[in-house]
Chain A
């Protein structure tokens, strides 16, 4: 493993009386593709949220690219995510009123930048996703696979140090899911993208460099 870009140490998350993640420790190397697998409800998504800075742990600490984020405020976490982290969600989470390129450029909207530059960067990524001819389409006019490719482009628009993917093929048919995985693998291999992917599908997990298993909120391996 290369130098760790993501480190989570002894992470615990409790909601009221329910402990969802118990003392989980994890490290992901720079350029590594790691799968986090486990049964539904085992705490995978919560751990992903803790590691990505979407959620603050009840205890433990998270470091991304050398910066500890566990104690950061909500706004500091947002700024950190904007500059360092990309997300791919199971249900795409595109904004229905924005076109493909506008959705791609969404993380750049709060940044002072010429619109032409936002559009250029979005167009470049959408071209790489083979969606250059769908830039002006609204999400409602895109297929599931196209929506997820827009979501991948959005995750990459800020040149993140690490991309978190939560069941990225969960809402897609097998063929489309395979195509999306092919894209993620290509980005990992060719561009050195660091990827932490949550999945419940052992077959999908095998495509990663390393598989981490979870059970009842604990990291097993």
Chain B
């Protein structure tokens, strides 16, 4: 193979080269963009869970409280016992478990959504420490409270005040900016988990619906290996019952409703169609080129080029052309992904995961996690795209050159 000849063929028949390159590069760009979008939606779907350091959340639905007085469980989250938590921790693929306790507390003149949290466990709502806009975060072992800033403003609660809840008093040590905090497991009042557990254990209305012992919780946050999420989710239902609400990134993906979010098969099918059309365009262009060069191939063979020489020459031309198409397609895809990165996506948070009682103001409104679509092209996808281009070039070149290199020079040069 002669690289000078390859270069001259591609540059001096530039119209044909450009047509073949553009045809394939559009296909490659579409393939990369479709897959990058699919990955972006998958990553977006992980965001609500990722921002509380978890891959899975678990709640067990139960009965509606008989009366809205004192501390009760939302019907979407009743008791998960300590022994069940131990069994969850032993499920293969579980890397960490965080717990929390969500309560609705109805005092005579105010209703609270209370969340008892493990202050130091990185899996779960401890991420709140990053959203304390005033005061400080909870210190382990102390009976103190954080109040959500908007709620504090509404009810005139200030830093240093004490809040009285279910007959217990807690000093307010910090105000949390919920507008920037995670959208899952939000509350008006955040307490250390043991304090919330003590409130729950002492509540007769709560015990009458769902027996609760100190040490039990009603929210689980689970960290799992990405490839194990599905199997862990399935095992969780085995441990906690089939009715258990297990939220995974896939749950959010389904809520997004996009074609890319709904189906990996759609992405695969669309990618294949894009590539197939691109390959056909390129093949047609290259086949036309080779057919036009039949006489030229005859001359090459007449002056001493072997079949292997001819095949290698055409194969190299095809591979170089398709490699350029792959790089161009990748550049187009990078430009498109940059533009698509300005799109925002609204991920609806299911009511049971952000449980403002529906009978309270704003309780029926859907909460969204809004974020910019995280479109990026992984190196592996970029390499795959270029490799695919080269393979297409190789196969196309091999197919065309194998046929044309068989011609006898006398056959094409005979009819002068």
Contact = CB atoms under 8 A, between A and B. Distances in A.
B136 to A, nearest CB: 75
Interface residues of B, number: 26
A81 B8 contact: no
B304 A78 contact: yes
A196 B197 CA distance: 108
A74 B414 contact: no
Of the four ranges (under 10, 10 to 19, 20 to 34, 35 or more), the interface on chain A belongs to 20 to 34
Given A97-B9, A98-B5, A167-B416, A79 B410 contact: no
Nearest to A99: B8
A55 B306 contact: no
B9 A82 contact: no
Contacts of B299: 89, 93, 95, 106
Contact of A158 (B304, B307, B416): B304
B2 A110 contact: yes
A109 to B, nearest CB: 4
Nearest to B10: A97
Contact of B295 (A74, A75, A93, A166): A93
Contacts of A74: 301, 307, 408
A90 interface: yes
Interface string A64-105: 000000000011001101110001011101011111001000
A138 interface: yes
A54 B306 CA distance: 12
Contacts of B309: 78, 109-110
Interface in A23-54: 45-46, 49, 54
B408 A46 contact: no
Interface string B3-17: 011001100110000
Interface string B376-416: 00000000000000000000000000000000111001101
A209 interface: no
Contacts of A115: 4
Residue from the set B8, B300, B302 with the largest chain A CB neighbour count within 10 Å: B302
Nearest to B304: A82
Contacts of A55: 408, 410
B12 A81 contact: no
Given A49-B414, A54-B413, A82 B303 contact: yes
Contacts of B302: 54, 81, 87, 93
A83 B12 contact: no
A71 to B, nearest CB: 16
Contact of B409 (A54, A83, A166, A167): A54
Given A74-B408, A87-B303, A45 B414 contact: yes
A109 B9 CA distance: 14
Contacts of B296: 95-96
B8 A89 contact: no
B168 interface: no
Contact of B5 (A45, A46, A109): A109
Given A54-B410, A74-B408, A78-B301, A109 B306 contact: no
B338 interface: no
A82 B305 CA distance: 7
B95 interface: no
B133 interface: no
Residue from the set B8, B13, B303 with the largest chain A CB neighbour count within 10 Å: B303
Contact of A110 (B306, B413, B414): B306
A154 interface: yes
A49 B414 CA distance: 8
A91 B12 CA distance: 21
Nearest to B293: A95
Contacts of A93: 295, 299, 302, 413
A90 B306 contact: no
A177 to B, nearest CB: 15
Contact of A75 (B8, B303, B308, B410): B308
Contacts of B304: 78-79, 81-83, 107, 110, 158
A102 B5 contact: yes
Contacts of B5: 98, 102, 109
B305 A89 contact: no
Interface string B308-332: 1100000000000000000000000
B308 to A, nearest CB: 7
A78 B306 contact: yes
Nearest to B301: A78
Contact of B307 (A75, A98, A166): A75
A26 B228 CA distance: 82
Residue from the set A74, A91, A109, A158 with the largest chain B CB neighbour count within 10 Å: A109
Which 6 residue pairs spanning A and B have beta carbons closest together? A82-B304, A97-B12, A55-B410, A109-B2, A107-B303, A54-B410
Interface of A: 45-46, 49, 54-55, 74-75, 78-79, 81-83, 87, 89-91, 93, 95-99, 102, 106-107, 109-110, 115, 138, 154, 158, 166-167, 170
9 contacts: A45-B414, A46-B414, A49-B410, A54-B409, A83-B304, A93-B295, A95-B299, A97-B8, A102-B4
